[in-house]
Chains A and B, each alone.
Chain A
Amino acid sequence: MKQVQVHPERCLGCMQCMLACATAHSRTKSLFTAVGESPLPKPRLHVGAGSHDEGFPNRCRHCDPAPCLLACLPGAIFRDPDTGTVLVDPDLCINCASCAMACPFGVLRYHQDWVAPAAKIVAQKCDNCLERQHEGLIPACVEVCKTGALTFEESDEALRRKTREVARSVSMGMEEQPLIPTGVQLLRQAKKQRFEMRCR
Chain B
Amino acid sequence: MKTKAEERTITKDGQLLLKKMEQDQVETVWDRLEAQSPQCGYCEMGLSCRVCAMGPCRIDPFGEGPQRGVCGADADIIVARNLGRMIAAGAAAHSDHGRDLVEVLAEVAAGKAPEYSITDEEKLRRIAREYGVETEGREVLEIAGELAAAMQEEFGTRKGFLTMANRAPAKRREIWQKVGIAPRGVDRETSEMMHRTHMGVDNGWQSLLLHGLRNALSDGWGGSMIATEVSDILFGTPAPTPNMVNIGVLKEDEVNIVVHGHNPVVSEMIMRACESAEMVELARKKGAKGINLTGLCCTGNELLMRHGIPMAGNHLMTELVIGTGAVEMMIVDYQCIMPSLGALAPCYHTRMISTSDKARFPGMEHREFHPDNAAELALTLVREAIENFDQRGETYIPVDAVPSVGGFSVEAIIGALGGTPQPLIDAITAGKIRGAVGVVGCNNPKIKHDYGHVTLTRRLIENDCLVVDTGCAAIANAKAGFKVAEAIKYAGPGLQEVCGALGIPPVLHMGSCVDNVRILVLAAALANALQVDISDLPLAGAAPEWYSEKAVSIGSYFVASGVYTVLGPMPPITGSMNVVNLLTSDLNDVIGASFAVEADPEKAAVLIRRHIEAKRKALGLSALDI
Contacts and interface: CB of A to CB of B under 8 A. Distances in A.
Partners in one complex: yes
Interface of A: 10-15, 47-50, 53-56, 145-148, 180-184, 186-187, 190-191, 193-194, 197-200
B600 interface: yes
A48 B63 CA distance: 24
A58 B40 CA distance: 16
Contacts of A47: 38
B1 to A, nearest CB: 9
A147 B60 contact: yes
B58 interface: yes
B60 A146 contact: yes
Contact of B447 (A12, A180, A194, A199): A194
Interface in B106-156: none
A150 to B, nearest CB: 11
B576 A148 contact: no
Nearest to A145: B65
16 contacts: A12-B42, A12-B44, A13-B41, A47-B38, A49-B37, A49-B38, A56-B38, A181-B61, A183-B577, A187-B41, A190-B597, A197-B599, A198-B2, A199-B2, A199-B7, A200-B448
Interface string B568-611: 01100011110010000000000000000101100000000000
A147 B65 contact: yes
Contacts of A49: 37-38
A103 B570 CA distance: 38
B23 interface: no
Contacts of A197: 447-448, 451, 599-600
A55 B38 contact: yes
B336 interface: no
B41 A12 contact: yes
Nearest to A47: B38
Contacts of B599: 190, 193-194, 197
A10 B574 contact: no
B625 interface: no
Contacts of B570: 186-187, 190-191
A197 B570 CA distance: 15
Given A183-B576, A190-B570, A194-B599, A146 B41 contact: no
B381 interface: no
Interface of B: 2, 7-8, 37-45, 58, 60-66, 446-448, 451, 569-570, 574-577, 580, 597, 599-600
Contacts of A15: 38, 40
Contacts of B597: 190
Contacts of A183: 45, 61, 574-577, 580
Contacts of B40: 12-15
Contacts of A190: 569-570, 597, 599
Per CB-CB distance, the 10 closest pairs between chain A and chain B, nearest first, are: A12-B41, A13-B38, A146-B65, A49-B37, A55-B38, A183-B574, A190-B570, A198-B7, A49-B38, A14-B40
B151 to A, nearest CB: 40
Contacts of B42: 12, 14
A50 B38 contact: yes
A146 B66 contact: yes
Nearest to B75: A183
A50 B39 CA distance: 11
Contact of B60 (A48, A56, A148, A182): A148
Contacts of A48: 38
Contacts of B580: 183, 186
Given A183-B575, A183-B580, 11 more contacts: A13-B37, A14-B42, A14-B43, A14-B58, A146-B65, A147-B62, A180-B62, A183-B577, A193-B599, A194-B447, A197-B600
A182 B58 contact: no
Given A12-B41, A50-B38, A148 B2 contact: no
A13 B43 CA distance: 10
Contacts of A11: 41
Contacts of A148: 60, 62, 64-65
A18 to B, nearest CB: 11
A53 B44 CA distance: 12
A187 B574 contact: yes
Contacts of A147: 60-62, 64-65
A200 B570 CA distance: 20
A184 B60 CA distance: 10
A13 B577 contact: no
A181 B62 contact: yes
A148 B63 CA distance: 9
Contacts of B63: 181
Contacts of A194: 446-447, 569, 599
A200 B451 contact: yes
B595 to A, nearest CB: 13
Contacts of A146: 58, 60, 64-66
Contact of A54 (B2, B38, B66, B600): B38
B159 to A, nearest CB: 41
A105 to B, nearest CB: 18
B62 A186 contact: no
B45 A184 contact: yes
Contacts of A198: 2, 7-8, 448
A193 B7 contact: no
B61 A193 contact: no
Contacts of A53: 37-39
B569 to A, nearest CB: 8
A13 B37 CA distance: 8
A26 to B, nearest CB: 21
Contacts of B61: 12, 147, 181, 183-184
Nearest to A181: B61
A15 B43 CA distance: 12
A31 B275 CA distance: 56
Nearest to B601: A197
A146 B42 CA distance: 10
B481 to A, nearest CB: 19
Of A49, A186, A194, A197, most B-chain CB atoms within 10 Å = A197
A165 B507 CA distance: 53
A186 B598 CA distance: 11
A200 B577 CA distance: 31
Contact of A55 (B41, B43, B446): B41
Contacts of A54: 38
A184 B576 CA distance: 10
Nearest to B451: A197
Contacts of A200: 448, 451
A13 B48 CA distance: 13
Nearest to A151: B64
B60 A187 contact: no
A14 B58 CA distance: 11
A98 to B, nearest CB: 29
Of B39, B58, B576, most A-chain CB atoms within 10 Å = B39
A63 B193 CA distance: 54
A184 B451 contact: no
Contacts of B451: 197, 200
A193 B600 contact: yes
B574 to A, nearest CB: 4
A90 B380 CA distance: 62
Nearest to A198: B7
Contact of A184 (B2, B448, B574, B600): B574
A116 B378 CA distance: 59
